[in-house]
A = this chain, B = another copy of it.
């Protein structure tokens, strides 16, 4: 099924790892789309109508049908444009492994990152979550890489797939954390495979241009933290 750019619209945001996932999936399939930047401080009626339950980006609009939740969207793209390069593996068991790690990344990695961001100002709390990220979550993902990649460059083998997209979309935020903390988290002596993978991922043709710039994201994240901190004070 071919798609004209008028068929596909993405309600996203330049800073959003979840929107990046969708952009990468669309690139893999060679699909054109209209990118619509949402202002989260003043969400459009189109977004609120398209995702009335969560009111969140990204939403992919295919014709007049809205699809929500980034990993659900990626699977939809893979299934509808099944003639293009596959994103999830063709084998049912391998697909299961991909879904398992997709869910791990959103449950563990994402929650750790959120906890670190939201702990701003509470150094003890931040240290605890950073430790969990480094000693548990990234260690587990390094092991997962060894099992899934079978000696190739990506979780998906020779080309990027579902797990690469799910995890790789967070790499810019990981860099931001490193900048803000003044030290590297993804270091080669602890995570040799993931360090190589990260370099390969961000340079991959279908990823280029889908990830936010680090400097811009540092400013964005700092502002976000300040907003959360103010909300915390106001709630007390």
Contacts and interface: CB of A to CB of B under 8 A. Distances in A.
A7 to B, nearest CB: 13
A200 interface: no
24 contacts: A53-B100, A53-B104, A53-B140, A62-B93, A65-B93, A67-B93, A67-B96, A67-B100, A68-B100, A69-B99, A69-B100, A72-B96, A72-B100, A72-B103, A73-B96, A75-B96, A75-B99, A76-B92, A76-B93, A76-B95, A76-B96, A79-B92, A79-B95, A80-B92
Contacts of A92: 76, 79-80
Contacts of A79: 92, 95
A213 B100 CA distance: 30
Nearest to A76: B96
A65 B100 CA distance: 14
Interface residues of A, number: 21
Contacts of A65: 93
A45 to B, nearest CB: 19
A60 to B, nearest CB: 9
Contacts of A69: 99-100, 103
A207 to B, nearest CB: 24
Interface string A74-104: 0110011000000000001101100110011
